[in-house]
Amino acid sequence: MTGPPATGIPPRVALVLGGGGLKGFAHIGVLRALEERGIRPTVIAGTSIGALIAAAYVRGLTIKQMEARALSLRKPDLFRIDHMGMVVKRMLATSLYLEQPLQAIVDSLSPEGTFRDLSISLLVNTVDLERGSQVVWGLPGLQDARVADAVYASCALPGFFPPRVIHGRTCVDGGVMENTPALAASRNVDAVIAVDVGSTSLAAARRVREKGFASIFMRSAQLMMRSLQQMQLATWSGPPLLLVRPAVWKFNWFSFAHTRAMMDAGYAAACEVLDGVGDTLYASGGVFPRRRVEVSVDRARCTGCGMCAVLAPDVMQMDADGKATAVGGTLEWSRADGAFVQECPVQAINVEVIDGDGQRHRTMEFKVLGD
């Protein structure tokens, strides 16, 4: 048999599951869509909750088992404040929450033993705090660690859960440096499917300063992760990358009330992308899917700050009246493009998607939505 298979997915594909708090339940829906189409990754990588779900997949949990576990999870199962540590150690306390609840969840979902014992290649993204370096457990030379230790460290958001020392390295959540470790997973594969649940359109965070230091920290971390993710995609030089972005931006990172909706959002996003992939993943590189779009500016809103022209000089420019204007013509964008649209302080930039029949529809993907 020659030529691309019916799914359009090459035989050697890496699946990368990004971090994003409980928004990562969308990954379970993505796995369901892949399973229905007979797509089995040869490499699976993850950060934070993405690492946890990747580990559960490698352990052999079924989609139904993952769904049941996710739907049964409640806040006390994961978040228990370390009252004693905070009273005794005060500012020297390592975290806000206790280690044991997270560790129990990780132990119940992770394969036993080390990465060397696994039949499927699993990569778990962490950061070595002391050395200031990214450590992806499961890569050559980093396979002798316990899988459960690496997964716990990948889920240990700094300040929220204690770090984990692994082979002398003090490791925390890999999202500190790279939320979706696509490049690390791209070695020796034909294509990458990356699922991004932490860098999609942001909901406006109202009254964030009134919600305490944890909310302020999480909002800052989310912005940092989004910026790093956009930079990685803008400079992507690996094999063809299929980007799946479930519509989960309206959900809180630590909401336990919308688990089914988030799983369904992951399933819907994956089905749309996989069923329309064609033979694009047999290209030499690039980020897919790609769409025809047209960019316009609401001149009444535009203040002339010029940030769009600085960030995207090939697309935006300033006219003689000091207002932003889009360079004429349609553009071909992947979902990794257009990040500058969200940077407009008055949301004066609009994006219309042009479908195959020439019909146009306004997309809210690049807008900052109210919560």
Catalytic residues: 48, 173
CB atoms within 10 A of CB 167: 12
CB atoms within 10 A of CB 230: 17
Beta strands in 230-336 (DSSP E): 241-244, 287-288, 290-297, 316-318, 324-326, 331-334
Q: Who's near 125: CB < 8 A, 6+ residues apart?
A: 45, 46, 47, 51, 134, 135, 136, 154, 174, 175, 178, 181, 184
Burial class (CB in 10 A: 0-12, 13-18, 19+), 97: buried
* SS3 at position 90: helix
201 is written with which tokens? Answer: 């359109």
- Give the span between the Cα atoms of 152 and 262, in whole angstroms: 22
- Give the span between the Cα atoms of 82 and 101, in whole angstroms: 11
Q: Please, what's the largest Cα pairwise distance for the chain?
A: 67
- Alpha helix stretches (DSSP H) within 73-143: 75-78, 83-89, 99-109
